[in-house]
Chain A
Amino acid sequence: MHPAPSVIVFTVLSGAGFGLLGFLGLGRPAPAGWPAFLLWGLGYGLTAAGLLASTFHLGRPERAWRAFTQWRTSWLSREAWASILALLLLAPVALGAWTGVAVPGWLGPLGALACAGAVLSTAMIYAQLQTVPRWNHGLTPVIFAGFALTGGAILSGQTTPAAVLCLGLSGLLALSFRIGDGRFRASGATLATATGLGTIGAPAVFELPHTGGTYLTREMIHVVGRRHAARLRVIAIGLSGLVPALALVVLPAGPGAALAAAVHLTGALAARWLFFAEAEHVVGLYYGQGART
Chain B
Amino acid sequence: MTSLPPRVERKLGLVIDLDTCVGCHACVTACKGWNDQGAGLSDQDPHGADPSGTFLNRVHSYQVQPAAGAPQIVNFPRSCLHCDKAPCVTVCPTGASYKRAEDGIVLVDAAACIGCGLCAWACPYGAREMDAAEGVMKKCTLCVDRIYNEALPEADRLPACVRTCPTGARHFGDLSDPESEVSLLVAERGGYDLMPEMGTAPVNRYLPPRPKPRPAQASLLAPLLDIQATGIAGWLDRLLGRL
Contacts and interface: CB of A to CB of B under 8 A. Distances in A.
A74 B67 contact: no
Nearest to B127: A283
A252 interface: no
A128 B94 contact: no
A193 B196 contact: yes
A31 B64 CA distance: 68
Contact of B91 (A75, A187, A286): A75
A73 B99 CA distance: 14
A220 B121 contact: yes
A225 interface: no
A207 B60 contact: yes
Contacts of A220: 120-121, 126
Contacts, number: 202
B87 interface: yes
Given A131-B121, A286-B78, A66 B114 contact: yes
Given A70-B95, A131-B121, A59 B135 contact: yes
B120 A72 contact: no
Nearest to A62: B114
Contact of A73 (B25, B90, B135, B193): B90
Given A59-B135, A193-B195, A209-B78, A215 B93 contact: no
A196 B136 contact: no
Given A131-B198, A209-B78, A197 B208 contact: yes
Which has the most chain A C-beta neighbours within 10 Å: B55, B76, B92, B126?
B126
A192 B116 CA distance: 30
A246 interface: no
A191 B74 CA distance: 13
Interface string A201-228: 1111111111011111001100000000
B95 to A, nearest CB: 5
B208 A199 contact: yes
Given A59-B113, A188-B197, A206-B63, A195 B51 contact: no
Contacts of A207: 60-61
A77 B114 contact: no
B124 A205 contact: no
Interface in B113-154: 113-118, 120-126, 129-132, 134-137
A132 interface: yes
Given A60-B135, A69-B95, A283-B125, A197 B197 contact: no
B121 A189 contact: no
Given A66-B114, A196-B208, A59 B136 contact: yes
Contacts of A130: 87, 124, 198-199
Given A69-B95, A201-B67, A196 B206 contact: yes
B25 to A, nearest CB: 8
B38 to A, nearest CB: 17
Contacts of A61: 114
Contacts of B113: 59-60, 63
Interface of B: 1-3, 18, 25, 28, 50-55, 58-67, 71-74, 76, 78, 87, 90-96, 112-118, 120-126, 129-132, 134-137, 192-199, 206, 208-209, 211
Top 6 closest pairs, chain A to chain B, by CB = A59-B115, A59-B135, A209-B58, A283-B126, A66-B94, A76-B93
17 contacts: A57-B117, A58-B114, A59-B136, A59-B137, A66-B112, A70-B95, A74-B91, A74-B118, A194-B194, A196-B193, A203-B64, A204-B62, A204-B63, A204-B65, A213-B52, A215-B54, A283-B125
Interface of A: 1, 57-61, 63-64, 66-70, 72-77, 80, 125, 128-132, 187-189, 191, 193-197, 199-210, 212-216, 219-220, 281-283, 286
